[in-house]
Amino acid sequence: MSSSPGQDLFQVLNEKGKLKQVVYKNTLGSFHLIRQVIMDMHKEYQKKYSSDKQAIPFIHQDHGEFETHLQFAGDILIFLMHTNVFEFSRYHEVMSTNYIREDKSRSYCGIIHVYNFLADSFKYNRVNDVGYLIGRIFINKDKCYFIEGKREVGLLYNNFGQEILDEKTARRIVESSILYTINFDLLTPPYDALKEISLGDLRSIVDSYALKTGKRLGFRFQADKAEE
Encode 73-104: b = buried (16+ Cβ within 10 Å), e = exposed: eebbbbbbbbeebeebeeeeebeebebbeeee
228 confidence band (pLDDT: 50, 70, 90): very low
pTM: 0.79
Q: Which of 5-9, 119-123, 131-135, 203-207 has the lowest mean pLDDT?
A: 203-207
pLDDT(136) > 50: yes
Kindly report the number of other CB atoms within 10 A of residue 156's CB atom. Answer: 10
3-state secondary structure of 186: coil
Distance from C-alpha of 170 to C-alpha of 217, rounded to nearest angstrom: 30
pLDDT tens string 73-98: 899 999 999 999 999 888 888 898 99
